[in-house]
Structure formats: structure tokens, C-alpha cells
Structure 1
């Protein structure tokens, strides 16, 4: 076994351990950190496969942006995990069935990819070949329709997120920025003319019934 094979088994073992801890960790922050570790191991495996662009994209996009945002949201919201676990065993059969279906679909796709077949478009090889350029050509020729479908799904998700954000909440006060810009001084301050007041006249001290002077 050479060094490359040993590194592959090492990265794969750490990747499996991190992925297992993602779904078994009780703390969502720890689960997110284990997911970051899994992303790093996957990028290292892609480096071994000479897919530098995919490895760097995984680190920059998922580790540098998505997971940092996820950690920020989780730590800011302070989610009550105990309340989320109350219906775990109630929905476990449905979740297990969906997971088994996804596993079977992935196995069917992977087994079909392992078959020896001639590629529809041969990949160029050589020291002067850029794998990023070849990946772009492959995406926009053989996988153009799946790429467009994925782009439409992401667009729908963005529109849905914006629509959920713009909902009017009943527990918060909303101020229209355009009304603040168009406001004028006379709308804010009103001067009222009032009659001039006179100073109060001093009142003589009342004498109590006992005849003593009030102090």
C-alpha cells in the first residue's frame, strides 16, 4: 500500500467518524463543527483525486460561508433542543423509511457510475490541461439540463426565503423607511399659541381651630 492509498483510508475513516458524530451529537454546535471536519476530509479526498477546484470550492463555499452562517444562527437563536427531541421516536419510522429510500437511490446511482462504459465526451489529459475548464465543459454539455434544474430549485428557495423574511410580524413594530425620508419639520413639531400665565398670588396661612399658628 502506497502513501496515497494510506492517506485515502485515513481521510475516509475520519470522514465517516465525523459524519456519524454529526447525526449523533446532542449539541447542535458540536454537530456543526463535526460537519466542518467532514467537509475538510472530503476536500482532502478530492485533492487526492486531483480535483483541486472542487476541493477549494467545498472549503470556501460550505466551510467558509454556509457553516459559519449556520453556527451564527444556531448560537444566536439558542434553540431548545429538548423540545425538538420530544417527537423523535414518533416520527422515527417515517424518517427511517425516507432515509432507506435515499440510500437505495444513491446506491443505484453509484453502481451505475461504476460500470465500465465509454464516456460520451472524452476528457483531455496532460500537464497543460485545466480540470476546472474540463469540469465546466462537462457541466454545460452532458449535464446541462440537471444544472438548469438545480439552478431553478435554488432560485425558488431564494424567493421563498425572501418571502418569509418580508412577512409582517405582529410582535414587532414596522416603520416604513420612505415615510421617514419624506417627513417634514411641521409634521414632527407643532407650535401652539397659549395665553400668558400670571404668577400665583401667595396664600395666607390658615389658622387652625385650636388657635395655634401653623408652622
Structure 2
């Protein structure tokens, strides 16, 4: 067994263990961290299969953005673990049936074996010189030539979804205070502060205090 095969088995074993811990960890934060480890191991397996673009995309998109967001949401929410486990045994039969079905389907695929194909050469001959082929470059050419229209449709759908999410979250509420940024820019100093002219204060004389005291005594 060569080094590549050994690394594949190591990454696969860690991936299976971390995926199992995702659904068995009692602490939600630990489950999210195990899921991050699962994505990293899957990225390493893709790297061994020379799918560098998919490997980097998995790390950047899922680990760098989605899972970090999930981690912060889980840490900020006060999750009651006991209430989550309340209906575990009630839904366990259905989950067991689905799990067994998926395991049987995977076993049917794996027992059939894989066709061994020759590894594509990483060098192409251009004239008399050998030119190295870039996996990411070839994938980019394929995406933006043959699959250009599906990419544009997916981009339009994601844009509509992003605009809809912004519109739903920025609804004006009665219990929230909102100030228009355009009004803040156009405001002037005289609109923020009003100066009232008042008479200057005068020192109180001792005679005035004595007269006021006598008047209160008579009353």
C-alpha cells in the first residue's frame, strides 16, 4: 500500500468518526465542530482525487462561511437539550428504517465494485513542448462555455433569493426605531440644537434674604 492509499484510509476513517459524532454529540456546539472536521476530511479526500477546485470550494464556502454562521447561531441561542431529546424515541423507528435503507443502497453500489480507469495525464503536448493542464482552469472553461446558461440561471435564482431575504428581514416594525440615512446626511446644526436666550443671573443680596424671611415669619 502506497502513501496515497494510506492517507485515503486515514482521512476516510476520521471522516466517518466525525460524521458519527455529529449525530451522537450531546452538546450542539460540539456537533457543529465535528461537522467542520467532517468537511475538512472530505476536502482532503477530494484533494487526493485531484479535484482541487472542489476541495478549496468546500473549505471556503461550507467551513469558512456556512459552518461559522451555524456555530455562532448555536452559541447565541439558548438551546434546551432536554426538550430536543424529548421526541427521540418517538421518531427513532422511522429514522432507523431510513438509515437501513440508505445503508442497503450504499452496500449495493459498493459491492458492485468500481471500474478501474487510467488516471488522465497532467501534461499535454503542444508542439514539441509539454504543457501542464490545470484542473481548475479546465473546469472553469467547461462551466463558462458548455454550462453557461445553467450557471446564469443559478446566479439569477440566488440573486432573487438574496433580495427576498433582505426584503423579509428589513420590514418596518412598530417597536423598532429607525432613522433614514438620507435625513441624517441632510440635517443641519440648527435642526439639532436650539439656543434660548435667558437673562443673566444676579447675585442675591443679604437684605433681600432678610426681607423674605421676615415676610414668611409674619405669614
TM-score by length of 1: 0.67
- Does the C-alpha gap of structure 1 residues 153 and 90 become closer, same or farther in structure 2, counting only changes over 3 Å? farther
Match of 1:59 in 2: 59
SS at match of 1:39: helix
- Counterpart-to-counterpart distance in 2, 1:145 and 1:90: 47
SS in 2 for 1:85: helix
Alpha carbons 1:39, 1:58 under 8 Å: kept: yes
**Residue 128 of structure 2: aligned partner:** none
Aligned to 1:74: 74
For the structure 1 residues 168 and 96, does the alpha-carbon distance in structure 2 shift closer, same or farther, using more than 3 Å as the test?
farther
Matches within 5 A, 1:29-68: 29-68=29-68
Deviation at 1:49, TM superposition (A): 0.7
Match 1:135 to one of 130, 139, 159: 139
Any idea what SS the aligned residue of 2:74 has?
Answer: helix
CA contact (8 A) 1:21 1:31 kept: yes
Deviation at 1:34, TM superposition (A): 0.8
Structure 1 residues 183 and 14: alpha-carbon distance in aligned structure 2, compared to 1, 3 A threshold? same
What is the Cα-based RMSD across aligned positions, in Å?
Answer: 4.0
Q: Name whichever structure is richer in helix by fraction.
A: 2
For the residue of structure 2 that corresponds to 1:169, the secondary structure is: coil
1:100-119 deviations in whole A, cap 9, x for unaligned? 7xx69x97xx89xx997xxx
Is the contact between residue 124 and residue 134 of structure 1 (CA under 8 Å) also seen in structure 2?
Answer: no
Shift in alpha-carbon separation, 1:83–1:175, aligned structure 2, 3 A: farther
Equivalences, count: 193
Q: Distance in 2 between matches of 1:92 and 1:174?
A: 45
Question: Is there any run of 5+ residues in structure 1 with no aligned partner, and where?
Answer: 117-122, 209-215
**Cα 1:89–1:150 shift into 2, 3 Å:** farther
In structure 2, the CA distance between the partners of 1:157 and 1:55, relative to structure 1 (3 Å rule), is same
Partner Cα distance (1:57, 1:42) in 2: 11
C-alpha distance in structure 1 between counterparts of 2:25 and 2:141, whole Å: 40
Q: Which moves more between the two structures, 144-153 or 7-16? A: 144-153
Q: 1:172 to 1:154 in 2, by over 3 A?
A: same
How has the CA–CA distance of structure 1 residues 8 and 25 changed in structure 2, closer, same or farther, with 3 Å as cutoff?
Answer: same
Matched, 1:190 2:186: no
Q: Name the CA distance, whole Å, in 2 between partners of 1:73 and 1:164.
A: 19
The equivalent position to 2:176 in structure 1, one of 162, 167, 172, is 172
Structure 2: 5+ residue runs without aligned partners?
124-131
Q: Paired residue for 2:84?
A: 85
Change in 2 beyond 3 A, CA 1:86/1:17: closer
